[in-house]
Amino acid sequence: MTSLPEFLKELFESWPLLGILPVWFYSIVAIFGLLFLFLFPFAGVAVYVERKIAGDIQARIGPNVVGPYGILQWIADALKLLLKEDIIPTNADKKLFILSPMLIFISGACAYAVIPFADNVILANLNIGIFYLLAITSMVTLGLILGGWASNNKWSLLGGLRAAAQVVSYEIPVALSILTVVLVTGTLDMAQIVKMQGPFYWNIFHNPFLFISACIYYIAALAEANRTPFDIPEADSELVSGYNTEYSGMRFAIFFLIEYAECFIICAVATTLFLGGWHLPFFDLSSLTLGLRIPLQIMVFMTKSILLLLTMMWIRWTLPRYRVDQLMKLCWEVFVPFSFACLIGTAFWMVLFKGKGIPELILGLFVS
């Protein structure tokens, strides 16, 4: 069980020049590789796919001018945003205005450190991985409220306040459903959580309570990332664009990029915690050779995450927006009690069946 930099180091040990390079070199390579080869293009392509899906759902064509089927649209968008004038309003609090996108970027990008794409392909194999993730994603709130406040604009301020209240409230159901998983797996290590699940024993099938808490996690995480139907902080029709009304050009692009990056993090975490990470049912990938295993595992992991991401986009263009008071009510009076019930239910199940899940129990029937 090693992290990606150490794994790369081991892999290139026998090579003439690459073998003598220290671990920190590999970690820098890995970080930049992840940022430039995965995060930025992925967010761009996600925007393109989302626009295409929106087009399909609303019986339009969607982007179709730049490149075949408009597939290069995201590059054009990125270039356009880079070349746009950067406006900082005279009334704004300049320092905080500049700080806000940076904070959001830091918290969004740092969360990628503990996503286990495959066996050994994890940037930092922390033994408190999921706890770290909870902590680092909470920092987004800080960025949002700072951005909303510093803009000195009524829309932004209202958006920032709503975002703070919403993200903070939905943090609790999210944390509680993660806690439920931790009860079952008994570890906070992301790679270990995936290893525990094996090809058959996915956490979502462990017991009925975990199934409910997986649903709660997905919905509450949607709200945490300010996605429709919970996008009241940036409700276009009432608040213009919420906390990022005053941002333009590249600064706006950062907000946008991190929104999509965060959506992927949510899906990746859901995959890791509930859907067995890189495991395929009925087929043990770990018996394959190294060269075949790692690409396959990454593909399985990405397929699961992207299916969840597409569901997210589907939800966005299908459901109407919630009202602020309904949103708070939904969180505190439905999700929090239910996730507590799931927590206690799972704990009870664990005591009753000595930690065995439904698949294990069924398998036990056949063996005996």
Give the nearest distance from C-beta 203 to another protein in angstroms. Answer: 12
φ, ψ at 337 (rounded to 5°): -60, -40
> Around Cβ 16, how many Cβ atoms within 10 Å?
7
At 226, the amino acid letter reads N
Give 351 or 367: the residue with its C-beta nearer to another protein.
351
Q: Please, which of residues 275-314 interact with another protein by CB under 8 A?
A: none
DSSP string, 229-282: TS-GGG-HHHHTTGGGTT--HHHHHHHHHHHHHHHHHHHHHHHHHHS-TTPBTT
CB 248 within 8 A of CB 86: yes
Using CB under 8 A as the binding rule, whether residue 250 contacts another protein is answered as yes
Write the burial class of residue 283 (CB in 10 Å: 0-12 exposed, 13-18 middle, 19+ buried).
exposed
**Interatomic CA distance for residues 81 and 163, integer angstroms:** 24
Using CB under 8 A as the binding rule, whether residue 88 contacts another protein is answered as yes
Give the nearest distance from C-beta 49 to another protein in angstroms. Answer: 23
**Interatomic CA distance for residues 53 and 191, integer angstroms:** 33
**Interatomic CA distance for residues 330 and 203, integer angstroms:** 25
* Contact window for another protein (CB under 8 A) among 43-51, 82-90, 118-126, 297-305: 82-90
Using CB under 8 A as the binding rule, whether residue 325 contacts another protein is answered as yes
- Which 3 state secondary structure label does DSSP give 166? helix
Give the nearest distance from C-beta 176 to another protein in angstroms. Answer: 7
Give the nearest distance from C-beta 194 to another protein in angstroms. Answer: 16
Please count the residues of this chain forming the interface with another protein, following the rule CB under 8 A. 65
Give the nearest distance from C-beta 138 to another protein in angstroms. Answer: 9
Q: Please, which of residues 136-175 interact with another protein by CB under 8 A?
A: 149, 151-157, 161, 164-165, 168-169, 171-172, 175
In the complex, the residues that contact another protein under the rule CB under 8 A are 35, 82-92, 101-102, 105, 109, 131, 149, 151-157, 161, 164-165, 168-169, 171-172, 175-176, 179, 182-188, 240, 245-246, 249-251, 254, 324-325, 328-329, 332-333, 336, 340, 343-344, 347-348, 350-351, 354-355
